Amino acid sequence: MAQHRDYDIPVYSPAARGFHWLTVVLLLIQFPLGMYMTYRGYQMVYTDPAGETKTGLFDATTGNLYDGHKLLGITILSLVVLRLFYRLTAGAPPSDNSVPPALVGISHLTHWSIYLLLLAVPIAGYIGVSYYGALSAFGIPLPAVTAKDEKFSEQVFAYHEYLGWALLALIALHFAAAIYHRAVRKDRVVERMLPKRIV
Ligand code: HEM
């Protein structure tokens, strides 16, 4: 990856930074959406028109939230596939040589694990939807990738949830590392991925 002419250190290309920040924005919508729609569908307490108190509301709004989650998830999966292809062909700027090799190793392990989970989480979601047989979103048909097995879909959705928590944990570590670089080590690692040059 060539050094950008506006910078005095090697940085990620505008395309790599675009992929990174677009992924952040979409995940900031997708995680709360997934949590809220399942809360609404399974746990929300409400009073039905007959005055009875019930738990878990699967109405048109919940259905639309599920459809939005499915479409956004497929969009994130497509974006990650493109991003990975770009990353594997265009590469990344060389590591900042002020950073100890052990830390560089841990950061590479974290980054590649995040990529792996960014593939595994939406793939598990899609497979769950296929087993469940809920193969449409806002009227758009989604192709089946498995036979229908509603019971087994529960297990796949549980994997989707656990992998989602693992992804969130690694993203938290990644974010904490960015703060550590800027606030504690005071190196220039974070500048390599910021949307714009700030110094
Ligand atoms: C990176 C992308 C994705 C993320 C971060 C994500 C995240 C989540 C989260 C946090 C939940 C709530 C889990 C819970 O608390 O029970 C959830 C549930 C769900 N997700 Fe995803 N998801 C993604 C992609 C997808 C895709 C591609 C599909 C299908 C096309 C999908 C289908 C579902 C469904 C149907 C549920 C609800 C399962 C149930 O009702 O038990 N997700 N997702």
Cα 130 to Cα 147: distance, rounded to the nearest angstrom: 7
Quick one: pLDDT at residue 8? 81
* Per-residue model confidence (pLDDT) at position 198: 65
Q: Count Cβ atoms below 10 Å from residue 138 Cβ, excluding itself.
A: 10
**pTM for this one?**
0.94
**pLDDT at residue 199, as a whole number:** 54
Q: Is residue 6 part of a domain?
A: no
- 8 found inside a domain: no
Residue 130 in domain: yes
Q: How far is CA 102 from CA 105, 113, 119, 179, in A?
A: 5, 17, 26, 18
Q: Which of 183, 49, 178 is nearest to 107 (CA)?
A: 178
Q: How far is the CA of 28 from the centre of ligand 1 (A)?
A: 13
In the prediction, which pLDDT does 5 show? 63
How many domains is the chain partitioned into structurally? 1
Q: What spacing in Å lies between the alpha carbon of 75 and ligand 1's midpoint?
A: 13
The predicted structure's pLDDT at residue 147: 98
37-89 pLDDT, tens per residue? 999 999 999 999 999 999 999 999 999 999 999 999 999 999 999 999 999 99
44 belongs to a structural domain: yes
CATH of the domain at 63: 1.20.950
Between 121 and 6, the more confident residue is 121
Helices (H), the chain: 14-38, 60-90, 101-132, 150-179
CB 27 within 8 A of CB 171: yes
- Confirm if 45 and 55 have CB atoms less than 8 A apart: yes
Pocket probe for ligand 1: among 38, 140, 171, the residue whose CB has the most ligand atoms within 8 Å is 38
For a mutational test of ligand 1's pocket, the pick from 22, 67, 69, 142, i.e. the residue with the most ligand atoms closer than 8 A to its C-beta, is 69
Whether 21 maps to a domain, the answer reads yes
pLDDT at 2: 53
Q: Average pLDDT over the chain, rounded to whole?
A: 95
Domain assignment of residue 78, given as a range: 14-192
The first and second tokens of residue 51, run together, are 């005055």
Is 152 in contact with 131 (CB distance < 8 Å)? yes
Amino acid 81: pLDDT: 98
169 domain-assigned: yes
Taking 70 as the threshold, does the pLDDT of residue 188 lie above it?
Answer: yes
Instruction: Please measure the distance between the N-terminal and C-terminal CA atoms of the chain and give it in whole angstroms.
Output: 21
Assess if residue 197 is contained within a domain.
no
Residues with CB under 6 A from ligand 1: 27, 30-31, 34-35, 38, 41, 66, 69-70, 73-74, 76-77, 118, 121-122, 125-126, 128-129, 157, 160-161, 164
pLDDT in tens, 157-180: 999 999 999 999 999 999 999 999
